[in-house]
Homo-oligomer: A and B are copies of this chain.
Amino acid sequence: MPHDIRIVTEAELREVVRLDLETVDVVEAAFVALARGDVVMPPVMSMDLAAAHGEVDVKTAYIPGFDGFAIKVSPGFFDNPKLGLPSLNGLMILFSAKTGLVEAVFLDNGYLTDIRTAAAGAVAARHLAPADVTTAGVIGTGVQARLQIEAAHLVRPFERVLVWGRSPEKAAACAADLKERLEIEAEICTDPETLVRRSQLVVTTTPATEPVLKADWLHPELHITAMGSDQAGKQELEAACLAQADLYVADRVSQAEKLGELRGAIEGGAWAGGTPPELGAIVTGSATGRRDPRDVTIADLTGTGAQDTAIATHVAARLGDAGTLVRA
C-alpha cells in the first residue's frame, strides 16, 4: 500500500536543525530514556571491511513514547580522501514506531550523527564538568574537534580553547575556526600534556589506537570526555586514567566495555570498579555525579542508537514541508 515518504538532503537538514541548546536537550532526553531502562537498543551492528579499508556501523533504538525510531548507517571508508571524498558518510531512516512504515529518509552524509555526537558531549560536560571552566582543550583537529568544543561552550562558556593534533597545520586551522566561531581565545599546544594540565575540560576526538592522554597528566578540577573510541581496536586514554579518576561514566556500559575506553581498561586489568554508572543515571540523579569541584571525572562516549532516534524524531517534528515527498 503506497504511502508518502519524505526524502531530505543534508543541505535541507542543515536548515532545520543545528547544534544548539535545544539539540543538546533532545539528546539529553535520550540519555534519560536509556536510564529509565525501557529502551530497546540492540548491540551495534558492525562490519569490518579490511579489503576496502572501511567499516560500517548500524545503530538503532526504540524509545517508548517516541513517535518514531531511527536506523542509522555510518560507513567509514578511509581511502576516500585520496579520491577527494570524506571518509565518513551515511544516512538515517525514520520509521513509524506504531506501524514500522518508513516515514523519512535523511540523506545527511553523517551530519545528524555529527551533531548528536557533539550534543552528547555537551550533556556530559553539563552534568560532569567543574562549574567553572575557563580553559577547555581538545585533542584532535577534525569535524568532531570543532563540534565538541562548540557544544561544550554552550554549557560551559569558557574563555579559551587549546588545540593539539599530530598535524600542526590542522591544529592551527582548527584553532582559527574555533576562535572565529566562538569569539574566544584559541591557542595551539605543542604537546597534549600541556593542553591537559592547563584545561578544566578536555575532549578527545581521535581515532587513536594507542592512548593519547596519560594518567600522569590528570589534575584536580578536570573533566575529560573521550568520544573517539567506538570500535574494539581504538583507545584514547591510558587505561589507568579510568581507575585514577574520581568518577568514570559510560554512555552505555554494554557498549563501552566492547567499543570504548572501558574495554582497554578491563582487558589490561586496570579496571576493578565494577559496573560504572551511565550518563543517563547521572542526568536523572539516580547515580551521583561530581562530588567536589576538585574531582577528576571521565565520560566515555561510544554513541548510542537512542541518540539517533532522538535526533531523527526531533528533526521530523521540525521539518514542515522541507524535502521531497515520494509515494512508495
Contacts and interface: CB of A to CB of B under 8 A. Distances in A.
Contacts of A76: 100
Interface in A77-93: 77, 80, 83-86, 89-91, 93
Interface stretch (A7-15, A210-218, A276-284): A7-15
Contact of A80 (B75, B93, B100, B107): B100
Contacts of A168: none
A52 to B, nearest CB: 6
Contacts of A7: 7, 105, 326
Contact of A326 (B9, B43, B49, B75): B9
A54 B100 contact: yes
Contacts of A105: 7, 91, 105, 107
Contact of A77 (B2, B45, B60, B100): B100
B62 A49 contact: yes
A194 interface: no
Main secondary structure of the interface of A (DSSP, over half): strand
A32 B289 CA distance: 54
A275 interface: no
Contacts of A56: 60, 62, 69, 71, 95, 100
Interface size class of A (residues with CB under 8 A): 35 or more
A83 to B, nearest CB: 7
Nearest to A76: B100
A85 to B, nearest CB: 6
A269 B327 CA distance: 50
Contacts of A47: 40, 42, 60, 62
Interface in A85-120: 85-86, 89-91, 93, 95, 97-102, 105, 107-109
B49 A40 contact: yes
B62 A60 contact: no
A51 B77 contact: no
Interface of A: 1-2, 5, 7, 9-11, 40, 42-43, 45-49, 51-52, 54, 56, 58, 60, 62, 64, 69, 71, 73, 75-77, 80, 83-86, 89-91, 93, 95, 97-102, 105, 107-109, 324, 326-328
